[in-house]
């Protein structure tokens, strides 16, 4: 127990360097607008703390994997839930790389995100995600027939005016057989999209195979495979559902940043406990109780 709890604790501590570096309390700055947050992030961007942030997440995952190997059924359940949260956090860290702001240079952001997130998790290559997210989604968020995220929601029946039963069924879509099939198909498509599927497949298999060889079968099954195929997709899906007001896409005018901020859903503005829960699990690095949900 001491070993895996210690590894998890070390991972959390390593991540705090990045949190401290970008904290508004460092310098006592008032970050009460999205513009102010973005300005501070640009001023403090660097090439060191992102590496520590990603290293911390993987150290934590190693600790949860060790727990799955040593702690029995309760450890399996804890590792599965924590693994899903880690993958969701890694996806959101790579979101900064997709926008080219994870490190000082866009090339470094791309390399770091590929090595620590996209390749080991079987995501589409960073340049492809940048095209889909930055160039296709952001300028067209909530525009029916144009926004690729909106098409994904519409495909499972989520559209303005949807009834409560359809919404409830769509809410857990990634956990259904059809959702699992979609996840597996997406991973296969991601590997083919790269043009170098064989080495990306090797990268995807590296972590679970190593876990299995070193720790035994429960580690890869419960800390990697189950989270990657079922639980992480559910968290990512929940983020997509609240990312923009797809259910009430009223017209907004103004500069691009104003339009984007107006489309975002403000989550739990008056409930700090729920805001903290969301920020620590499925909406990491988002101001869910303040400026707005900025994940995507």
Percent of the chain with pLDDT over 90: 55
Is 265 within a domain? Answer: no
Is 291 within a domain? Answer: no
**Distance, CA of 228 to CA of 260 (rounded, Å):** 29
Is 276 within a domain? Answer: no
Instruction: Tell which wins on pLDDT, 157 or 31.
Output: 157
Work out how many domains the chain is built from and give that number. 1
Give the domain extent around 148: 2-235+245-254
pLDDT, mean of residues 216-225: 98
* Reported confidence tier of residue 264, pLDDT bands at 50, 70, 90: low
Residue recorded with tokens 């890694």: 90
| pLDDT score of 144 | 75
Q: What is the dihedral of CA 203, 205, 206, 212, to 10 degrees?
A: 170
Mean pLDDT of the chain: 86
Is 217 within a domain? Answer: yes
Is 278 within a domain? Answer: no
**Distance, CA of 130 to CA of 266 (rounded, Å):** 25
* Reported confidence tier of residue 290, pLDDT bands at 50, 70, 90: very low
Which pTM was predicted? 0.90
* Reported confidence tier of residue 195, pLDDT bands at 50, 70, 90: confident
Is 283 within a domain? Answer: no
Phi, psi of 203 (to 5 degrees): -65, -40
């Amino acid at each position: 127990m001491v070993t895996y709890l210690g590894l998890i604790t070390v991972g959390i501590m390593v991540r705090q360097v990045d949190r401290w570096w970008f904290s508004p309390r460092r310098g006592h700055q008032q970050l009460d607008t999205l513009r102010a947050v973005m300005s501070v992030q640009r001023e403090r961007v660097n090439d060191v703390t992102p590496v520590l942030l990603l290293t911390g997440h993987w150290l934590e995952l190693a600790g949860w994997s060790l727990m799955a190997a040593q702690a029995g059924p309760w450890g399996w359940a804890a590792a599965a839930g924590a693994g899903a949260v880690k993958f969701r956090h890694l996806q959101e860290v790579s979101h900064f790389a997709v926008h080219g702001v994870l490190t000082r240079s866009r090339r470094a952001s791309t390399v770091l995100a590929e090595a620590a997130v996209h390749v080991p998790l079987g995501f589409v290559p960073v340049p492809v995600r940048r095209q889909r997210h930055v160039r296709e989604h952001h300028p067209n968020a909530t525009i029916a027939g144009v926004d690729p995220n909106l098409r994904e929601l519409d495909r499972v029946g989520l559209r303005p005016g949807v009834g409560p039963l359809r919404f409830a069924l769509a809410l857990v879509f990634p956990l259904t057989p059809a959702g699992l099939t979609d996840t597996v198909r997406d991973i296969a498509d991601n590997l083919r999209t790269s043009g170098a599927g064989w080495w990306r497949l090797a990268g995807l298999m590296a972590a679970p195979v190593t876990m299995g060889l070193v720790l035994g079968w429960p580690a890869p099954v419960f800390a990697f495979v189950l989270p990657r195929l079922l639980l992480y997709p559910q968290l990512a899906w929940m983020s997509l559902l609240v990312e923009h007001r797809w259910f009430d896409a009223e017209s907004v005018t103004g500069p691009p940043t104003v339009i984007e901020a107006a489309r975002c859903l403000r989550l739990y503005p008056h409930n700090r406990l729920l805001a903290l829960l969301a920020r620590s699990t499925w909406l990491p690095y988002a101001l869910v109780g303040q400026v707005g949900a900025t994940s995507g």
